[in-house]
Structure formats: C-alpha cells, structure tokens
C-alpha cells in the first residue's frame, strides 16, 4: 500500500473503519462475484486454512503513583501480549462452525484476521485461495461480515435504499437482487421495516438488516461476530432459521462467535474453543458431550413423599416434596438399573432424564484446561 494512499486515508483511526473502507472500494471495483461451484456443484478449491497463526500486540506498561507515571512518560516500557497464540484449523466449504471462548480469548482478533482487517504476526491464512491481508480487495468480494455492535448500512436512509445501493455498487444482476430481497422478506421479515431509516431501527431489526446487507452480493463465507448481543427472542429465532437455510441451500460457510451456548448447539455441528489465545478443542458438539458430558440428572416423582436416601450409583442433588433429583454417570449406570433401585424404595409416578447443559460442559472444559495449565 503506497505512501500517497496512506496519506489520503490517514483520517481512519480504527481497524473496523479501515476494513469497511476497503470493503467499499472493493465493491466499486468489481462486478458480481463468480460462482463458487463448477457445473458439478462441487467446491472448486479448499476453503479456509489457518496454520500456526499468532497475533501479538504491544501494551504499554503502567506504574502506580505520580513518579511511576512520569518515569514511563519519559521512558515508556511495553509488554507483548499474545492475543492469538499459534492456532491451526481448517474449515471445509459449507460448514457451520462455532468459534467460542471466554472474554479476551482471541475470538474477535481471529475473525478480524480472517476478514483481512488485521495481519497475523506469524503463520499462514488462506481463504478461497487468497491471503486475506495481501489480497484485501479481492478477498472482500468473497466474504460477508457482521459485527454485532457495528453496522455497515447507511445510517440516514431506509434499509431498502441501502440494499439497492449495494446492488449498484456490486453491479449485481437484477434477478439476483430480487431473489435475495424475496428471501430476506420471507425469512428475516425485512418488509416490516424496509422503508425505515437505519437510525430508527430496533437492535433486532438492525441486525437482521445487517445480515441481509452482508449477503446481498452472494458471498462464499459469512463471519458473524456476536451478532445477537441484546437481540430479543423472536429476532434470534428468525436469524437462526435464516442462517440455517442459507447454509443448507446456498452452501454459505458460516463462522459464528457468540457467548450464547444455546445458539451454538442449535446452529453449529462443530465448535472450535479457544482460551487465552490458544486452541483447546476442535470437534463436534456430540464429542464434547461424550468426553465432558458423561453426567446426567434424573428427576423422579414418587407416589408419596418419602425421606431422602442415597443410591450406590447416583448422588442426591435436591429434594422437593415428592420429587427428587439424582446425578449419575451415563456410562457407568444404565437408566434401567437406576429406575429399579428407585422403585425399590417407593412407587414411581413420573421421571425424566436430562443431559448436562452444553454451557456447563463448556465451563468444565475451561476449568479442566486451567487446571492443566496450573499443573
């Protein structure tokens, strides 16, 4: 990127401003993106690869007191922070992957590197055969990005006008625009607020409009960085159904970061978990349950209220009237054996068996990893 270009755009002061500027320039420079499929309907290239990616930031050290502040003012000291630390993974075309971790784990930093906003300190990234950083303009043609707290719609114009502007910028076919608009109306309820200026939309409406805008040019991959923060239940449900349909029908690859484990469980067959910048799990939700979700809870209602009692293969969690809750290991104790043990004490009216909540399972992974790091 040459010196004159940098001077021209020196007013940009954030990573996201820089990205959206690049996105707009790419839109102006390109026609509609090519299809990702050959006539056979198969992907033409490997999709997304991250190899030993590391992203470091320098953070200025701070000292207490006036003297410490003056010392660092005259002789500043810095420490290196590994926001992302040597992670590797690959994503196939059409996958839907949950990318999760606690606050500060490095999720958003990874998404920004994949989107071409940030350059990795070390390692190699490739998305659709392109290096996101070296081929930023070409790369932005292939991706859609939604940041939950940042809109890329035009603030003062109605949603429908923003979508029409995107159609003209991308030089997309009119038939594609009409087909997309019909899909957005059906699944996102866009017609309910398409003539309302963006600044007057509710958060849920704005997120739905942002996702529609991100998919207007038929991108190959959609990055969703915590898109449903603060969104109401009805809007969340519409977003989930929409994301599932575009993934199923159009083979759009989806990378989703979120703190909503219910969202992950409903949308993503595969999850990647990172903590303190390091990858700690990459696999299916079912495998997470198999390794960390061996415990189940049985709720049993007896014919009459009886005294609490322990079982050889189950622990009593709580008791309330005629109901009792027992925790047991599903691999060590068959449900039929447990029912027989309970029935020996009193007649059973009703019972249910619940797997461990996925949120608790993921918390167990974090705690297990933290314990290993301490050891």
pLDDT digits (tens, 9 = 90+) for 209-244: 999 999 988 999 999 988 887 777 888 888 888 999
pLDDT at 19 over 90: no
Task: Name the residue with higher pLDDT: 111 or 44.
Answer: 111
Contact 220, 187 (CB under 8 A): no
Query: Quick one: pLDDT at residue 25?
Result: 52
pLDDT at 297 over 60: yes
Q: Which CATH class is domain 3-287?
A: alpha beta
User: Can you tell me the distance from the alpha carbon of 371 to that of 142, in angstroms, rounded to the nearest whole number?
Assistant: 41
DSSP assignment letter at 121: S
Q: Residue 126: which pLDDT band, with cuts at 50, 70 and 90?
A: very high
Q: Which of 274, 277, 305 is nearest to 121 (CA)?
A: 277
Query: Each residue of 284-297: b (16+ CB within 10 Å) or e?
Result: ebeebbeebbebbb
Per-residue pLDDT reduced to its tens digit, 146-166: 987 788 888 899 999 999 988
Contact 222, 254 (CB under 8 A): yes
CATH number of 294-355: 3.30.70
Query: Quick one: pLDDT at residue 323?
Result: 92
Query: Quick one: pLDDT at residue 51?
Result: 93
Q: What is the mean pLDDT of residues 120-145?
A: 90
Q: Which of 34-38, 65-69, 223-227, 354-358 comes out lowest in average pLDDT? A: 34-38
Query: Quick one: pLDDT at residue 358?
Result: 67
Q: What is the mean pLDDT of residues 107-116?
A: 92
In DSSP terms, 319 is beta-bridged to 324
End-to-end CA distance of the chain: 46
CA 346, 352, 353, 355 torsion: positive or negative? Answer: negative
Contact 138, 144 (CB under 8 A): no
Domains 3-287 and 294-355 share a fold: no
Q: Residue 370: which pLDDT band, with cuts at 50, 70 and 90?
A: low
Domain definitions of the chain by residue range: 3-287, 294-355
Q: Residue 39: which pLDDT band, with cuts at 50, 70 and 90?
A: very low
pLDDT at 249 over 80: yes
Cα angle 186, 192, 193 (rounded to 5 degrees) comes to: 120
User: Can you tell me the distance from the alpha carbon of 21 to that of 52, in angstroms, rounded to the nearest whole number?
Assistant: 28
Task: Name the residue with higher pLDDT: 68 or 246.
Answer: 246
Query: Quick one: pLDDT at residue 54?
Result: 95
pLDDT at 266 over 50: yes
Question: pTM for the complete prediction?
Answer: 0.71
Q: Which phi and psi (to 5°) does residue 373 adopt? A: -65, -40
Q: Residue 122: which pLDDT band, with cuts at 50, 70 and 90?
A: very high
Q: Residue 42: which pLDDT band, with cuts at 50, 70 and 90?
A: very low
Task: Name the residue with higher pLDDT: 276 or 371.
Answer: 276
pLDDT at 374 over 60: no
């Amino acid at each position: 990127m040459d010196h004159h270009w940098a001077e021209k755009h020196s007013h940009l002061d954030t990573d996201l401003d820089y990205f959206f500027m690049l996105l707009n320039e790419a839109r102006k420079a390109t026609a509609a993106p090519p299809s990702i499929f050959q006539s056979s309907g198969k992907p033409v290239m490997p999709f997304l690869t991250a190899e030993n990616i590391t992203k470091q930031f320098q953070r200025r050290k701070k000292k207490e007191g006036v003297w410490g502040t003056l010392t660092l003012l005259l002789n500043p000291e810095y420490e290196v922070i590994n926001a992302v630390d040597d992670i590797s993974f690959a994503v196939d075309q059409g996958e839907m992957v949950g990318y999760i971790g606690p606050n500060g784990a490095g999720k958003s930093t990874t998404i920004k590197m994949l989107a071409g906003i940030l350059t990795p300190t070390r390692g190699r990234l490739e998305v659709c055969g392109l290096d996101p950083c070296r081929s930023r303009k070409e790369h932005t043609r292939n991706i859609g990005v939604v940041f939950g707290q940042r809109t890329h719609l035009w603030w003062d114009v109605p949603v429908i006008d923003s979508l029409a502007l995107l159609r003209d910028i991308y030089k997309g076919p009119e038939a594609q625009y009409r087909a997309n608009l019909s899909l957005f109306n059906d699944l996102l309820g866009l017609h309910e607020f398409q003539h309302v200026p963006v600044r007057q939309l509710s958060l849920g409406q704005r997120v739905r409009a942002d996702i529609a805008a991100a998919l207007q040019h038929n991108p190959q991959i959609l990055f969703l960085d915590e898109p449903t923060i603060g969104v109401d239940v009805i809007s969340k449900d519409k977003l989930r159904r929409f994301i599932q349909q575009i993934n199923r029908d159009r083979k759009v690859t989806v990378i989703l970061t979120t703190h909503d484990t219910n969202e992950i469980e409903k949308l993503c067959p595969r999850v990647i978990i990172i903590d303190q910048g390091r990858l700690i799990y990459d696999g299916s939700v079912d495998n997470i349950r198999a390794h960390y979700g061996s415990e189940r809870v049985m709720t049993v209602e007896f014919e009459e209220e009886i005294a609490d009692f322990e079982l050889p293969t189950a622990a009593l969690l709580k008791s309330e009237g005629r109901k009792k809750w027992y925790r047991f290991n599903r691999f060590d104790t068959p449900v039929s054996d447990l029912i027989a043990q309970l029935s020996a004490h009193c007649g059973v009216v009703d019972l249910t068996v619940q797997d461990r909540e996925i949120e608790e399972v993921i918390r167990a992974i974090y705690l297990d990893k933290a314990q290993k790091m301490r050891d």
